[in-house]
Amino acid sequence: MKKLIFMFLLWIPLSLSAQGNCEIKEQLPLKLMKQELERNFKILKKQKPPIYYISYTYTQGEEISVKAVDGGIRDEFQKPVADVEVSLRAGNPQMDNTRALRGEYSFSYGLRPEESTLSNKNSLDFLRRFWSETQSLAKDAQEKLSRVQANVRSRAENKDKSDDFVFPPLSLYCHEEPLQTFDLQKIKDLLVAVSRLTIQEKNVLKSSFNFSVEQGHRYFVDSVGTQLKTPYAYIRLFYSLYGRGKDGLEIERFNDYNVSTEKELPSLQQLTEDVRKSVAELNALAQAAEGEAANVPVILKGRAAAVFVHEVMGHRLEGDQLKDADDGQTLSGKVGQQVISPLITITADPTLTYFNGEMLRGAYEYDDEGVKSRPVVLIENGVLRNFMMRSTPIEGFPVSNGHGRKERGYPAAARMSVLRATASETVPYEKLEEMLLQEIKKQNKPFGFIVEDLAGGFTFTGASMPQSFKLETKMIYKVFPDGRKEVVRGLDVIGTPLVSFNRIIAAGNDDTVFNGSCGSVSGWVPQTNISPSLLFENMEFQKAEKSAFKPPVLPAPDFKQEEK
């Protein structure tokens, strides 16, 4: 307990120093949430077992989505958001209901949060939603705690002896931003116009052109006394094109634009150029020869490298992965040791909001457990230093570093924010390609690969499976020793994390941002990865799975011909 109090005191001055632009006391949701939380906590903390920590979150804002396909609007909606969420813990910080049960399958899944709109005149429903959730979750937590206790008594001891919870530091912070308005008709016209570009493309079986907005404020209070109001805004335009070869192999191109305001959205001209480029790539893929299994030198270009770092190493640097005894814990006990190529440093920095003028989706001020965000060096010149932590400690890492994240309706987990890989030495990209050719020749290989685009496949982190990964290449070039390149298709990158990350031999100076959303144990969270292009001494490729279906028997309707 002494240790807890000490840490608590240490953190207070840091957290209270943050500057906002509004007054907490003027925020009605915070006032009511605090009042209802305190009323519940006063009684529940005296229960047996006690509810020793509660947090309330209220998300107020709006969602907008527009989808255009083949010259028409396929779906559109605009909906206010007013979600009520409760999180609580039964037992005590040393052992509580959130502990994973050894040998028992458990999977947390999201539930649509209760909704209630708060007005100055009427707060009854708002209060009752929080009350109702609290009562129901308290019973669940108390029941789960008894299962945890039984599990601890009857199952093999867990190597990690750390507590299940560390109280987050007290924070008071109020930051608000006006909600943006959008000229939706203009955006719809833009999407419909570009969606027409693919109608007559014979290799485009399906397409989708989308605009989405999630914006608003998150109100957070907890039993420590934290009160937060923070804004969020995710504005995104993206499109995808799909096709299928005669052999059933599916091909795909995707592009997205993450912006801060409507003004930053691409113009019709820019979008048209990009879509045409994507169509050309899809056509090239449709004509391309099928790749063959190989173990050869490879460059993962910026975006592909960013996906690779995220999937293969990023997930293993999430603190929760080391807490669960049923997890593979690739990096357990390796702090201070060199785990990957000494060329590479990996950081998680949710305070980074822009990079090279590009908005970063993974940035935030406070995490979903009310902890202030901060940069963390995870791997420094190949040496493991830290993990992305939430308020669930692991051995050697007793406090959160602001990486407790979740989708609404899910419990929080330690998740990535803005994950950045940097290299201690870089070369211009052109030089990297020269180095690839040299490597191909040196190893006497018939070819190498340049992967321009990778999609998340999967990476096993559970102890019952090999610690391997399989990522789908979406745009890959076969490179011959004479420098000739040809598009190939149907290859997956496979391997294991420690081996593959130690095969990095050079990096470009072309840091590239890949914004996206990552779906994992705590739902989908906005996320950013930044990486330079990476040259690997070698990497293994295998043939990709194919669909059992052919392309449609008839060609797509030929509207131009029909008009004639």
Spatial separation of the C-alpha atoms in residues 295 and 289, rounded to whole Å? 18
Q: Which of 369, 408, 407 lies closest to 389, judged by CA?
A: 369
Residue 120 near other proteins by CB under 8 A: no
C-beta of residue 419 within 8 angstroms of C-beta of residue 310: yes
Q: Which of 5, 25, 28, 75 is in the footprint of other proteins by CB under 8 A?
A: 75
Angle between the N-to-C axes of helices 268-287 and 184-195, in degrees from 0 to 180, rounded to the nearest 10 = 30
C-beta of residue 170 within 8 angstroms of C-beta of residue 13: no
Q: Which of 33, 66, 81, 322 is in the footprint of other proteins by CB under 8 A?
A: 81
Which own/partner contact pairs does 349-354 have at CB distance under 8 Å and 24+ positions apart?
Answer: 349/375, 349/376, 349/417, 349/418, 349/420, 350/374, 350/375, 350/402, 350/403, 350/417, 350/418, 351/375, 352/418, 352/420
Spatial separation of the C-alpha atoms in residues 427 and 424, rounded to whole Å? 10
What radius of gyration, in Å, describes the C-alpha atoms of the chain?
A: 25
Q: Which of 16, 26, 80, 446 is in the footprint of other proteins by CB under 8 A?
A: 80
| 548: Cβ contacts below 8 Å, ≥ 6 apart | 248
Q: Classify 393 as helix, strand or coil.
A: coil
Residue 559 near other proteins by CB under 8 A: yes
Nearer CB in complex with other proteins: 4/179: 179
Contact map string, positions 126 to 165, toward other proteins, x by CB under 8 A: xxxxxxx-xx--xx--------------------------
Q: Which of 18, 125, 385, 480 is in the footprint of other proteins by CB under 8 A?
A: 125
Nearer CB in complex with other proteins: 158/240: 240
Q: Which of 31, 49, 76, 260 is in the footprint of other proteins by CB under 8 A?
A: 76
Q: Which of 529, 512, 535 lies closest to 314, judged by CA?
A: 529
**In 155-241, where does DSSP find H-type helix?**
184-195
Strands 448-459 and 294-300, by their bridges, are parallel
Contact map string, positions 464 to 493, toward other proteins, x by CB under 8 A: ------------------------------
Q: How many binding residues for other proteins (CB under 8 A)?
A: 59
Site for other proteins in 285-344 (CB under 8 A): none
294: left (phi over 0), alpha (psi -120 to 50) or beta: beta
Contact map string, positions 538 to 557, toward other proteins, x by CB under 8 A: ---------x-x--xxx-xx
In the complex, minimum distance from the CB of residue 40 to other proteins, in angstroms, rounded to a whole number: 5
The answer to whether the bond into 446 is cis (omega within 30° of 0) is no
Contact map string, positions 192 to 231, toward other proteins, x by CB under 8 A: x--xx--x-----xx-------------------------
**Where does this chain touch other proteins (CB under 8 A) — which range of 69-77, 285-293, 395-403, 538-546?**
69-77
**Where does this chain touch other proteins (CB under 8 A) — which range of 7-15, 36-44, 98-106, 167-175?**
36-44
**Where does this chain touch other proteins (CB under 8 A) — which range of 113-121, 342-350, 369-377, 507-515?**
113-121
Q: Which of 154, 185, 267, 561 is in the footprint of other proteins by CB under 8 A?
A: 185
In the complex, minimum distance from the CB of residue 88 to other proteins, in angstroms, rounded to a whole number: 12
Residue numbers at the binding site for other proteins (CB under 8 A): 36, 39-40, 43-44, 47, 67-82, 115-119, 121-132, 134-135, 138-139, 185, 192, 195-196, 199, 205-206, 547, 549, 552-554, 556-557, 559, 562
